[in-house]
Amino acid sequence: MIAIRIAQARADKEPFEIEVDGKKVPAYAGETVSTALQAAGIQIFFRQENSYPPSKLFCGMGTCRQCLIMIDDQISCLACQTLVYPGMKVRTSP
């Protein structure tokens, strides 16, 4: 699955960087963490050590809690509801 940003909607915006597992990933103000990750080709937001299904986007509105991710060392953040900010540090495994 390759998600693509519609450039037209971001014509007046400058991208900034967030950090995902130590790698720089571009993001735009107003995007959710889920959008920034998917646009970077990351569809698994968090891998669990157990046999539970991986974290990913499902409902997109914060009810299903399938998109939990670690943001700035805080666990159980919702990727679909949290907006990106410059310097945000995201981790996709414990």
Partner 1 sequence: MAAALQAASAGISVALLDEGSQLGGHFYKSSLSNIALPLSSTQRLKQIEFQSLLEAIQKSDIKIYQGARVWGIFDREGKTLTLNGDSSPQNQIFRIGFEPIIDSQGWIETRSIIIATGVFDRPIPFPGWEMPGVVTPGAVQIQLEKQALIPGQRVIIAGSGPLQLVVAAELIRCGVEVVAVLDTSALFDAWQRMFAAMGGLKTRFSEGFHALLTIMRKGVPILFRHAVFKALGSNERGVQGVVYGRIDQMGNPVYQTAREAQVDVICCAYGFSPSISLTLHMGCRHVFDPLIGAWKPFYDEKLQTSVAGVFVAGDVTTVGGKPLAQLQGRWAAISALQRLGAWSEEQVRRERSKIISAIRREEKFAQWLWQRYRVLPGLFQIAEEETLVCRCEAVRVADVRLALEDGSYDLFGIKLRTRLGMGQCQGRYCFSNAAMLISLYSGRNASEIDLPTIRPPIVPVRLGYLATCRQFLTHNEEV
**Where on the chain is the footprint of partner 1 (CB under 8 A)?**
1-6, 8-10, 13, 28-32, 35, 38-39, 43-44, 50-54, 56-66, 68, 76, 80
Choose among 40, 48, 2, 50: nearest CA to 20. 40
Least distance (Å) between residue 17 CB and partner 1? 17
User: Which of 13, 89 has the CB closer to partner 1?
Assistant: 13
Provide DSSP, 14-38: --EEEEETTEEEEE-TT-BHHHHHH
Least distance (Å) between residue 89 CB and partner 1? 19
Reading the block at residue 54, the tokens are: 């991986």
